[in-house]
């Protein structure tokens, strides 16, 4: 069997998906930018360490702090009665979920009155070379299935750049750590340039990765075109073949059942 011999389940998104994606991505970036500009971008870490935080390894613990900060910023915006972003729901997700935060925006559409985006928060250190440069996004199976199950599935990567420094507390005489979010970018995974997406076969069905999260190109495409790109990344791996793909596709329901 060749790839094109299969009878695929082809996802077809709504005609306004691209417009919704652009609006959601812009809103997310604006919310984060306003938090930075207003000085709400600092996370204070109080310890009993007299010499301060271990700066050479701080990137290893930064992720959970930055994710929690992002959730609180979105939650504050949800409760801001004068917010212009029409944010109507904010949820945090468990560790094993594909995304960290679920955001729902009110928007009149042909089908429904809202747009839901799953947001994966990635932390990168401004002052540590290559910190978080090529993150794992999610497993190939899960993201490929998401677009088949929901052609309007929206997966946003929110890259937050931070720096960390220590400051002596005048009262305790101990060193307080300060983690400061200083930059941001948001991308709809479906529109990330093909050359910027990579596939790592090392774990399970393999992990979808971003080659360099600081420099991402954009290519507008349909959900089905994106599924084909993901399949090509899988099949072009030296560890994978069409037989393995067929087994996975049948298990996940990507192709129509044979009579």
pLDDT digits (tens, 9 = 90+) for 48-92: 777 777 767 777 788 889 999 999 999 999 999 999 999 999 999
Does pLDDT of 94 surpass 80? no
The confidence score (pLDDT) of residue 88 equals: 96
Q: Which residue has the higher pLDDT, 55 or 256?
A: 256
Helix (H, G, I), strand (E, B) or coil at 201: coil
| Least confident span in 94-98, 112-116, 122-126 | 94-98
pTM given for the model: 0.91
Architecture of domain 8-252: 3-Layer(aba) Sandwich (3.40)
Gap between the terminal Cα atoms of the chain: 17
Residue 14 has pLDDT above 90, yes or no: yes
Q: How confident is the model at residue 127 (pLDDT cuts 50, 70, 90)?
A: low
The secondary structure of residue 58, as a DSSP letter, is T
246 has pLDDT over 60:
yes
Give the Cβ contact number of residue 149 at 10 Å.
12
Give the integer Cα–Cα distance in Å for 101 and 61: 19
For residue 165, the Cα-to-chain-centroid distance in whole angstroms is: 26
Chain-centre distance of CA 12, in angstroms? 22
Q: How confident is the model at residue 131 (pLDDT cuts 50, 70, 90)?
A: low
Where are the domains positioned within the chain? 8-252
Cα–Cα distance list, 220 to 34, 189, 194, 224, 232 (Å): 27, 10, 10, 12, 18
Residue 112's CB is within 10 A of a number of other CB atoms, namely 11
Q: What percent of the chain has pLDDT over 70?
A: 96
């Amino acid at each position: 069997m060749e790839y094109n011999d299969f009878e695929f389940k082809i996802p077809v998104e709504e005609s306004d998906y691209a417009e919704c994606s652009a609006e959601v991505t812009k809103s997310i970036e604006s919310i984060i930018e306003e938090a930075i500009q207003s000085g709400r971008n600092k996370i204070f870490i109080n310890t009993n360490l007299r010499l301060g935080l271990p700066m050479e390894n701080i990137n290893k613990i930064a992720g959970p702090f930055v994710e929690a900060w992002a959730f609180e910023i979105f939650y504050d915006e949800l409760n801001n009665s004068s917010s212009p972003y029409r944010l109507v729901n904010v949820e945090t997700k468990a560790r094993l979920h594909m995304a960290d935060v679920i955001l729902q925006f009110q928007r009149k559409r042909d089908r429904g009155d809202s747009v839901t985006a799953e947001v994966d928060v990635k932390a990168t250190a401004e002052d540590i070379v290559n910190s978080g440069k090529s993150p794992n996004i999610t497993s190939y199976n899960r993201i490929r299935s998401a677009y088949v199950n929901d052609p309007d599935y929206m997966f946003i990567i929110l890259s937050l750049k931070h720096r960390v420094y220590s400051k002596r507390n005048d009262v305790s005489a101990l060193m307080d750590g300060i983690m400061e979010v200083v930059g941001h970018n948001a991308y709809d995974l479906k529109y990330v340039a093909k050359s910027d997406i990579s596939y790592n076969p090392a774990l399970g069905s393999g992990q979808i990765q971003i080659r360099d999260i600081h420099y991402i190109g954009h290519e507008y495409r349909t959900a089905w075109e994106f599924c084909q790109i993901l399949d090509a990344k899988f099949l072009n791996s030296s560890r994978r073949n069409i037989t393995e793909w067929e087994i996975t596709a049948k298990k996940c329901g990507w192709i129509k059942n044979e009579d």
